[in-house]
Structure 1
Amino acid sequence: MNNSQQRGTDRSVARRAELISIGRKLFADTSYDALSMDDIAKQAGVAKGLIYYYFKSKRGYYLAIIEDSVSELVARAGRHDDLPPVERVQRTIDGYLRYAEHHQAAYRTIISGGVGFDTEVHAVRDGVREAMIAAIAEGAYGRKEIPRLARTALLGWLCSVEGITLDWVGHQELTRDTVCELLVRTLGDTLRTIEDFEPSFPAPPRP
């Protein structure tokens, strides 16, 4: 690839990222069904054809926005590899809550599964869950590969995290620190239960 082609590719990547950033703001304030492609193009200040060029359809645009949001959420979960296990887990949960607090519309979409029963958004959500379980397992045990029972227990805890987080962002009556501490303690209980069933996977000591 010559320099001219590289510059063209860079501009294309930057333009696509800019459209996704605009879309995240639009869908944060307005539901999927309430926004037409004409509305999106008008509010984004671009020709409708440009959005079709990059994303093929409104749904393709929407899914690209969700995937971008997920990438940020997962990145927050894996950002603390250099910390001791307990602190790493705490920072992972705090990062998760910070993301949900500041990107409420995207978080609700990821967790609820998107528009109706959207199998692609469900697949994205399942990917988030797997990434979070891996981040917690690595923080607690120093490895991502864990027995099926441990994974099932962590998935159950994570589903409760999703419910608690949705309730929290919907009411904002508790501080983020309080919710984080609640989730850390319930995770500790889950890890100690895992240890009862799988002694070779001991829970980290209480902080």
Structure 2
Amino acid sequence: MNISQQRDAARPRARGTERSMARRAELIAIGRKLFADTSYDALSMDDIARQAHVAKGLIYYYFQSKRGYYLAIIQESVAELVTFAASGGELEPVDRVHRTIDSYLCYAEHNQAAYRTIVSGGVGFDTEVHSVRDGVREAIIATIAEGAYGRTDIAPLARMGLLAWVCSVEGATLDWIDRPELPRDAMRELLVKTLGGALRAIEDLAPAYRAPQPARREA
């Protein structure tokens, strides 16, 4: 089942009213917090219904199953994160890279439960959830590649270099939101510097992929 089919399966059987859609969104918001702090297997539908203060049948009505509920939470979080990370398309390439990293950190900082769900929540148990997380990584890689190289169809070596950087960002960001000792600006600049190192390493091994020159800051 592809991501589009997963999304269709996670939708309520009937569109319903604005009130019902708001209720669905509320259930997803509750689920983000529940599944960020507790593993998928540790929460039963009875637990979820009790903590959400709703009848268990309501969750089945909107999501058909516990797994459908979990996938809907992941997919909603993914859509928001990708939108944040891909913002700033009107900017110059180097500025867009800065904006992408800042947006990514801003999202993680202000949506910590959702971010944990995307990056580490339940990934090991479900290949479809793993696939969704990989989709986020590919979206970030595409955004960085577009900003750095002006295109997204890059060679395997360049993609692997960017993937290695994205994976390191995930781990560092998880630690940062748990121990926010660095201001977001400092964290962003650190990640920009490490991205610069990754881009230069890619250029060393594949000269066709020239690393963008750092933007000069006015005094």
TM-score, normalised by the number of residues in structure 2:
0.82
Q: Which residue of 1 aligns with 2:148?
A: 140
Residue of structure 2 aligned with 1:94, choices 98, 102, 122: 102
Q: CA deviation at 1:12?
A: 5.0
3-state SS of paired residue (2:214): coil
Q: Which amino acid aligns with 2:96?
A: R
Structure 1's unaligned 5+ residue stretches are 1-5
Contact 1:113 1:125 in 2 (8 A): no
Q: Which amino acid aligns with 1:130?
A: E
2:161 is equivalent to residue 150 of structure 1: no
Q: CA deviation at 1:11?
A: 5.5
Contact 1:94 1:180 in 2 (8 A): yes
Alpha-carbon distance in 1 for matches of 2:36, 2:130: 19
% same residue:
72
Contact 2:36 2:116 in 1 (8 A): no
TM-score, normalised by the number of residues in structure 1:
0.87
Q: Which amino acid aligns with 2:203?
A: E
Alpha-carbon distance in 2 for matches of 1:87, 1:202: 17
Contact 1:70 1:124 in 2 (8 A): yes
Q: CA deviation at 1:7?
A: 7.6
Greater shift after overlay, 154-163 or 6-15?
A: 6-15
2:208 is equivalent to residue 200 of structure 1: yes
Q: Which amino acid aligns with 1:174?
A: L
Q: Which residue of 2 aligns with 1:3?
A: none
Q: Which residue of 2 aligns with 1:183?
A: 191
Greater shift after overlay, 82-91 or 101-110?
A: 101-110
Structure 2 matches for 1:114-125, cutoff 5 A?
114=122, 116-125=124-133
Greater shift after overlay, 41-50 or 70-79?
A: 41-50
- Provide, for residues 62-84 of structure 1, a one-character-per-residue CA deviation record: whole Å limited to 9, x for no partner: 12111111111111111110011
Q: Which residue of 2 aligns with 1:67?
A: 75
Q: CA deviation at 1:204?
A: 1.0
**Higher-helix-fraction structure:** 1
Q: CA deviation at 1:199?
A: 2.4
How many residues end up aligned between the 2 structures?
Answer: 202
- Provide, for residues 56-104 of structure 1, a one-character-per-residue CA deviation record: whole Å limited to 9, x for no partner: 2122211211111111111111111001111110110111111112222
2:49 is equivalent to residue 41 of structure 1: yes
